[in-house]
Amino acid sequence: MLEWEGVSLGYHRTGRKIFEEFSLTVEDSTVLLGPTGSGKSTLLASIVGILPEVNGIIRIGQRPVGRGGAAGRQWASYVPGANLLPRELTVSEYLTEIGRLDGMSSASSRRHAQAVAERLQLTESLRVRMRAVSCATKRKTLIAAAVLKPAEWLLVDEPTSGLDPEGQRLVLTLLQAESRHRGVLVATRQVAETAVFPDRLLLLHDGQIIFDGPCPRLAEGAQGHVFRVPQKAVGEAPSDRWWQPMPGGEIKIYRQACPPSAIGIEPTVEDGYFWALLNVESKPDLERAATDSPEGPVEAMTSTNDPPYREKISHGQ
């Protein structure tokens, strides 16, 4: 079990803390989803003591992480978002040394390194120095090293960053397998990766959990708010950010109520993600609309003439 109790940590560029009196309990393998800057990486790093000035209590299995994160590093294996690896070691040397640091004999460490390398299709790169391998190989090497450590929890930040579809499949399959005998917490920006642990999804926005539940429930939250409309019906593309192109000259839009010429469609998990963000990010505008506009908040949100945001959204963003 992972616990954050009354935790305040991390800083925005403005100097404001990302998390203020934040509390959360994670008992089983879980996906932490959110846009860039929402606090996902900060939350993972806090478990292993990377961040300074942490106020509150962080626990792993009832054990406080403590100042410096010694307990966190003992009981959790961590994959950061950046591929930081020793340039002069080969992939095999690095993986073998990781095993030895965790108490394995040299022979046992080599066997385990070979086994996990095969699971991630790294065998052809084992004798290559880190300075000469691709970013994708570095990513898989970091994940392989984390898997080698027999920790209670595996913490993985952006697991498939820089990987092609086959590499993504290998990594997510490996994480699913690891979840059978330990907890796995995945932090990601990619909605598709929520399928690795669909039973519990945490949606993070600006240091706050705005959704906590199974993936299908997130999709259900957008029911009645996702529509397709012919491009020609609106002329130019909508000027707000809440739209996506669709095949056949149509576009997908997210609205409180059905606009003219639109047809409701069954929402996906991705739609639920966008709809949840829309509600949070549009809240200040809607509150102002409720008091300042005779139209009211629903009409203010559905208007395409004066939208609250001006940035196009795209698949996978």
Asked, for residue 241, whether it belongs to a domain, the answer is yes
Q: Where are the alpha helices (DSSP H) in the chain?
A: 40-47, 70-75, 91-101, 106-119, 135-148, 165-178, 215-220, 231-234, 269-292, 297-302
Q: Clarify whether residues 112 and 247 are in a common domain.
A: no
Domain extent, residue 297, equals 220-302
| Strand order across the 55-60 sheet | 17-26, 2-11, 55-60, 63-64
Asked, for residue 317, whether it belongs to a domain, the answer is no
Question: Using one digit for the tens of pLDDT, what is the confidence trace for 208-249?
Answer: 999 999 999 999 999 999 999 987 766 666 667 788 888 888
Mean pLDDT, to the nearest integer, of 43-61?
85
Asked, for residue 313, whether it belongs to a domain, the answer is no
Q: Clarify whether residues 158 and 72 are in a common domain.
A: yes
Q: Clarify whether residues 185 and 224 are in a common domain.
A: no
| Strand order across the 76-79 sheet | 76-79, 153-157, 183-188, 30-33, 201-205, 208-213
Q: Whole-prediction pTM value?
A: 0.85
Asked, for residue 114, whether it belongs to a domain, the answer is yes
Asked, for residue 311, whether it belongs to a domain, the answer is no
- Sequence-separated (6 or more) residues with CB below 8 Å from residue 15: none
- The rounded mean pLDDT for the chain is 85
Q: What is the CATH number of the domain that holds 20?
A: 3.40.50.300
User: Tokens representing 60?
Assistant: 């792993």
Q: Clarify whether residues 285 and 257 are in a common domain.
A: yes
Asked, for residue 106, whether it belongs to a domain, the answer is yes
User: Tokens representing 227?
Assistant: 């529509």
Q: How far apart are the first and last CA of the chain?
A: 30
Q: How many domains does the chain have?
A: 2
Asked, for residue 312, whether it belongs to a domain, the answer is no
Mean pLDDT, to the nearest integer, of 154-168?
95
Q: Clarify whether residues 262 and 291 are in a common domain.
A: yes
Question: Using one digit for the tens of pLDDT, what is the confidence trace for 2-32?
Answer: 999 999 987 766 667 889 999 999 999 999 9
Which of 213, 238, 262 is where one domain is finished? 213
Q: Clarify whether residues 170 and 266 are in a common domain.
A: no
Question: Using one digit for the tens of pLDDT, what is the confidence trace for 299-312?
Answer: 333 333 333 322 33
Q: Clarify whether residues 15 and 79 are in a common domain.
A: yes
